[in-house]
């Protein structure tokens, strides 16, 4: 059974989704992150709260390795020694009822540890965790947190594993890695009633399930609803909440920081279980504690359950058009979004991307290698979409757009959109044997043409090969920078740094949807200011005084 566990652990979510009927084309996609780390969900403890004695855990005074600790505890832990992994695993097996290892809910297997400490998706410092645990319920997570408090051992949560900013890396010296893959169930669907007036259009799920799996299950049941936040294909709901991600649908449906997560159940660093609000569509009852955890990346609590708002499935079609340069394409995208036409997505793909799509060889057509827009139009009837496509074509033509192509069938629309979703693997086709650094920034939509133009100039002058893929409708774009050597990697780091600085100077952000993690934390002071970062640290230290939950992420590093 251990080998079964290991194979499942090492297998990426994208591979495990291969049998899902609604699975999109292969590729990591470009929405944030889809990441797999950070705050994740658990099972159905709606208002379960331990007694005060149980929920407030007093750490021991033994000097054990604790990664990054709060300033008030550094003197106590100055002489750090690593907690014994065997002892830690033994205690975890007891509380998880896995004493004979038949359930395989606790692992110290080196291959499993490495799979949870290393990623092909980023280039940040990595460390293997001390032990990996696989909880099955909120109660399990509470038990794990109490063990962590007892030994002052950090906790890092792992979901889909698609993070690209180092969100789920263990701190130096190890940690308890909480893998949520066994908590991957839909618990309730409030949308199956055929009487539309009584359909609530939401569902309750655990953190380990992916958005693709949710939508596939809704389709299988014949429920005409879907969850519209669409980051990387392998992203889990827990990781999506952690990073506040979005995806290609953001221009129409917004991001995770909208109202798509109605409530969440969270295990706090003390071990207490809370639920952030009830299931109603809106509430003005006190602070918006749900959003406190969205984007917190597992630094404030482990999310164990979530209620997701669903949207009706509407007919769509896809149009593609070429432009003389990215500036013209970006300006056209801004006008399209403001035209009032039913638009679900507006994606900018530069000339290098179109060339890579041809080289990759998975497309059903040979593309003109020009800067292009992929536009997904939405409407309740074919005639509405047809009218919308006429307006969009007119706008594109006014900005120098040519060869406007609009799909005439669902199959053709799916094939066109597949080329956009194959972004990462098609980009790698440009440089044989290369690796990719993918990053994103976001600016006010009016500033996007300037940002993209200046970034492309910088990349071209550096000698690095890159593609640019942007959610042009909301000012967010991604650069996929290719390299083969350490020298080229150093150049790429410089390009990323300048791209981020450029975005912040244009009143934008260092991360549109990938989250902060380790990779973007040094930019938070410049973007948000000392006061805002200080408030975030105050909240963190109040909820997690020993800095055990995902230390070193967001703005909470060794100097926090």
278: CATH: 3.30.465.10
| Dist CA 319 CA 317 (whole Å) | 7
> Residue 229 domain-assigned?
yes
> Can you give the pLDDT at residue 74?
32
Domain edge (last residue) among 179, 201, 232: 179
Same domain as 350, residue 494: yes
- Cα–chain center distance at 390: 35
- The CA–CA distances, whole Å, from 470 to 226, 267, 440, 475, 484 equal 23, 36, 9, 8, 24
Same domain as 479, residue 330: yes
> Residue 168 domain-assigned?
yes
> Residue 248 domain-assigned?
yes
Same domain as 125, residue 138: yes
> Residue 395 domain-assigned?
yes
Instruction: For the beta carbon of residue 72, count every other beta carbon within 10 angstroms.
Output: 11
> Residue 385 domain-assigned?
yes
As a whole number, mean pLDDT of residues 90-114 equals: 88
> Residue 438 domain-assigned?
yes
Comparing 28 with 294, which gets the higher pLDDT? 294
Give the residue ranges of DSSP H helices in 207-276.
211-220, 237-243, 250-253
CB 426 within 8 A of CB 353: yes
Q: Which domain holds residue 142?
A: 85-179
Same domain as 234, residue 279: yes
Helix (H) or strand (E) holding 312: strand 311-312
> How many residues belong to the chain?
560
> Can you give the pLDDT at residue 406?
95
> Residue 304 domain-assigned?
yes
Same domain as 321, residue 246: no
Same domain as 400, residue 340: yes
CB 515 within 8 A of CB 244: yes
| pTM of the shown model | 0.83
Is the pLDDT at 12 greater than 50, yes or no? no
Domain edge (last residue) among 250, 279, 312: 312
> Residue 435 domain-assigned?
yes
Same domain as 157, residue 190: no
Domain CATH code at residue 491: 3.40.462.10
User: Which tokens hold the place of 193?
Assistant: 């009633």
Residue (of 418, 435, 430) closest to 355 by Cα position: 430
CB 135 within 8 A of CB 42: yes
Based on the structure, what is the number of domains in the chain? 3
User: 241: helix, coil or strand?
Assistant: helix
Query: pLDDT tens, 32-80?
Result: 333 333 333 333 222 232 333 333 333 333 233 333 333 334 333 323 4
| Dist CA 37 CA 553 (whole Å) | 11
Same domain as 308, residue 326: no
Lookup result for tokens 């990346």: 297
Lookup result for tokens 């918006």: 288
| Dist CA 346 CA 191 (whole Å) | 29
> Can you give the pLDDT at residue 474?
87
Domain CATH code at residue 116: 3.30.43.10
Q: What are phi and psi of 279, to 5 degrees?
A: -95, 0
> Can you give the pLDDT at residue 29?
33
Mean pLDDT, the chain, whole residue set: 83
| Dist CA 290 CA 307 (whole Å) | 11
As a whole number, mean pLDDT of residues 298-318 equals: 96
> Can you give the pLDDT at residue 101?
62
> Can you give the pLDDT at residue 82?
58
CB 145 within 8 A of CB 176: no
Same domain as 320, residue 308: no
Same domain as 139, residue 123: yes
Same domain as 296, residue 410: no
CB 410 within 8 A of CB 350: no
User: Which tokens hold the place of 253?
Assistant: 């449906």
Residue (of 302, 275, 296, 42) closest to 149 by Cα position: 302
Domain edge (last residue) among 179, 198, 233: 179
Q: Where are the beta strands (DSSP E) in 359-494?
A: 371-378, 402-406, 435-442, 465-471, 476-483
| Dist CA 190 CA 200 (whole Å) | 5
As a whole number, mean pLDDT of residues 213-220 equals: 96
Q: What are phi and psi of 506, to 5 degrees?
A: -95, 20
Percent of the chain exceeding pLDDT 90 equals 64
Query: pLDDT tens, 344-362?
Result: 999 999 999 999 999 998 8
Same domain as 476, residue 366: yes
CB 348 within 8 A of CB 306: no
């Amino acid at each position: 059974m251990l080998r079964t566990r290991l194979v499942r652990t090492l297998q990426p979510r994208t591979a495990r989704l291969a049998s899902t009927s609604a699975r999109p084309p292969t590729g990591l996609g470009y929405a944030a992150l889809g990441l797999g780390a950070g705050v994740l969900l658990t099972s159905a403890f709606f208002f379960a709260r331990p007694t005060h004695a149980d929920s407030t855990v007093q750490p021991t005074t033994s000097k054990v390795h604790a990664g990054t600790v709060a300033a008030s505890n550094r003197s106590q832990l100055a002489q750090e020694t690593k907690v014994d992994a065997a002892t830690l695993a033994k205690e975890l097996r007891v509380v998880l009822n896995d004493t004979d290892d038949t359930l395989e809910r606790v692992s110290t297997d080196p291959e499993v540890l490495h799979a949870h400490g290393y990623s092909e998706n980023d280039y940040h410092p990595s460390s293997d965790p001390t032990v990996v645990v696989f909880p099955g319920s909120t109660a399990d997570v509470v038990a794990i947190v109490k063990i962590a408090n007892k030994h002052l051992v950090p906790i890092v949560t792992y979901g889909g594993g698609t993070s690209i900013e180092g969100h789920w890396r263990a701190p130096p010296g190890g940690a308890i890695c909480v893998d949520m893959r066994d908590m991957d169930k839909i618990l309730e669907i409030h949308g199956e009633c055929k009487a539309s007036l009584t359909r609530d259009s939401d569902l309750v799920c655990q953190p380990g399930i992916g958005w693709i799996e949710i939508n596939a299950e809704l389709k299988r049941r014949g429920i005409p609803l879907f969850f519209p936040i669409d980051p990387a294909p392998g992203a889990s709901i827990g990781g999506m909440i952690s990073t506040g991600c979005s995806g290609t649908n953001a221009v129409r449906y917004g991001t995770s920081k909208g109202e798509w997560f109605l409530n969440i159940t969270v295990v706090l660093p003390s071990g207490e279980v809370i639920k952030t609000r009830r299931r109603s569509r809106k509430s003005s009852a006190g602070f918006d504690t749900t959003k406190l955890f969205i984007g917190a990346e597992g630094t404030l609590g482990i999310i164990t359950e979530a209620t997701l708002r669903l949207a009706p499935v509407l007919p769509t079609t896809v149009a593609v058009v070429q432009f003389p340069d990215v500036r013209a394409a970006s300006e056209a995208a801004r006008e399209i979004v403001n035209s009032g036409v039913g638009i679900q997505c507006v994606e900018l793909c530069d000339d290098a991307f179109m060339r890579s799509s041809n080289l990759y060889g998975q497309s059903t057509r040979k593309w003109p290698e020009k800067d292009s827009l992929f536009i997904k139009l939405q409407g309740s009837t074919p005639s509405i979409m047809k009218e919308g496509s006429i307006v969009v074509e007119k706008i594109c033509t006014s900005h120098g757009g040519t060869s406007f192509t609009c799909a005439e069938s669902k199959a053709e629309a799916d094939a066109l959109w597949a080329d956009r979703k194959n972004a990462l693997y098609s980009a790698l086709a440009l440089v044989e044997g290369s690796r990719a650094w993918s990053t994103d920034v976001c600016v006010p939509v009016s500033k996007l043409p300037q940002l993209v133009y200046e970034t492309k100039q910088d990349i071209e002058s550096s000698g690095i090969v890159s593609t640019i893929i942007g959610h042009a409708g909301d000012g967010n774009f991604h650069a996929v920078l290719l390299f083969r050597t350490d020298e080229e990697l150093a150049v790429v780091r410089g390009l990323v740094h300048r791209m981020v600085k450029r975005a912040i100077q244009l009143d934008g952000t260092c991360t549109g949807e990938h989250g902060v993690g380790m990779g973007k934390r040094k930019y938070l002071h410049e973007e948000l200011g000392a006061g805002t970062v200080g408030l975030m640290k105050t909240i963190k230290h109040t909820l997690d005084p020993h800095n055990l939950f995902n230390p070193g992420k967001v703005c909470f590093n060794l100097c926090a």
